[in-house]
Amino acid sequence: MQKCEGKLRNLISVDNADIRLIKIFIRVVEAGGLSAAQADLNLSLSTISGKISALEERLGVTLCRRGRSGFELTENGRLIFDECQRLTGSLDQFSRKVSGLKSNLSGTLTVGLVDNTITDPLSPLARTIAKLAEIAPALHLSIDTKSPGELLRDVVSRKLDLVVGSFPRMTLGLAYIDLYEETQNFYCGAGHPLFSVPDENIGVEEARVHRIIGRNYWAARDIKIFAISNPHATVSNMEAEAFLILSGAYLGYLPDHYAAQFVRSGRMRLIRPNLFSYKAKFQVATVEDWKSRPAVRAFVDAITSNIPKALVRVA
């Protein structure tokens, strides 16, 4: 182990060619072989093999066995691979920090969030904030929590630089970046007449005769399926809705991750997810010139890097 680490430390006088060889080696190992890495590296098989051989010669150790029998790292190769990952990780961290300094990432970035997303495992916000603190240590964050409508109003008036939430409408003059979807389920609380009724016996007609909650920013969506003119109670946040549902007197929608704690304790019950549940798209909303604003762009880059690329789309 110490011998291998010493070999890699000899590359402290690395140049760009060495870094390229190391990155090719990492991609080959991650792909599971030279052939499997061809498409990602956009190199021929013979070129990749030559690059691996060049790295082996530079280090003075055999990194892998490759041929008809398949691809396999040697013991030294496994140790070198771990060291290479640490080396490239340190280089990436250095590049991000330098980029932050070059981009003038200082001052204050004002961010708006909807409430009660902290329990959502899909939310990338905590990872985003950690990455932003790493690449822009001089940047001051100011975070405010409001309803979706208030967030859009404040980003339009530029009281907020950007907002993250699920929005009931698209506002002209803003750019939207898709992030992920949150599941909204329909619930009743213990003590409600429907709490012990089997799902197969609950339909729209059975639910609509009871008191139904509407969120003041999404009331139309919440009551649409029930064909009622107005909700029986209106709330502005998830905690207020949860209190009404837990009373046993109302039915209403909550995000699945937020309601999970009450379902586990037997205080709430999910009703007919195949009929009543729907998906709410979470997005970043910001001004149209956001790409010219370094701090906003850094935040968008950080948050989208924590979302599968297939889900990310700018509207």
Residue partners of 108: CB distance under 8 A and separation at least 6: 139, 140, 141, 142
**For the chain, where do the domains classified as CATH 3.40.190.290 start and end?**
182-279
Strands 139-145 and 174-189 turn out to be unpaired
Rounded distance between C-alpha atoms, residue 314 and residue 284, angstroms: 9
The domain defined by 107-173+293-309 folds into D-Maltodextrin-Binding Protein; domain 2 (3.40.190)
pLDDT reported for residue 315: 44
pLDDT reported for residue 129: 94
Rounded distance between C-alpha atoms, residue 17 and residue 23, angstroms: 10
Residue partners of 245: CB distance under 8 A and separation at least 6: 187, 188, 189, 213, 251, 252, 254, 262, 268
Q: Rg for the chain (alpha carbons), in Å?
A: 26
77 CB neighbour count, 10 Å cutoff: 22
185 forms bridges with which residues in the sheet? Answer: 254
pLDDT reported for residue 217: 82
Task: List the one residue out of 141, 115, 116 whose CA is nearest residue 129.
Answer: 141
The CATH class of the 182-279 domain is alpha beta
Task: List the one residue out of 253, 299, 308 whose CA is nearest residue 280.
Answer: 253
pLDDT reported for residue 311: 44
For the chain, residues with pLDDT lower than 70 are: 1-15, 93, 95-104, 219, 308-315
Task: List the one residue out of 182, 150, 153 whose CA is nearest residue 166.
Answer: 182
pLDDT reported for residue 14: 61
- Measuring CA to CA, how many Å separate 246 from each of 95, 209, 237, 259, 315? 50, 18, 15, 10, 38
pLDDT reported for residue 312: 43
**For the chain, where do the domains classified as CATH 1.10.10.10 start and end?**
2-102
Rounded distance between C-alpha atoms, residue 294 and residue 174, angstroms: 17
Domain 2-102 architecture: Orthogonal Bundle (1.10)
pLDDT reported for residue 12: 47
**For the chain, where do the domains classified as CATH 3.40.190.10 start and end?**
107-173+293-309
Q: What angle do CA 101, 106, 109 make, to 5 degrees?
A: 130
Residue partners of 136: CB distance under 8 A and separation at least 6: 100, 103, 105, 106, 295, 298
pLDDT reported for residue 189: 97
pLDDT reported for residue 288: 92
What pTM did the predictor assign? 0.64
Task: List the one residue out of 101, 100, 25 whose CA is nearest residue 59.
Answer: 25
* Residue labelled with tokens 């060291």: 83
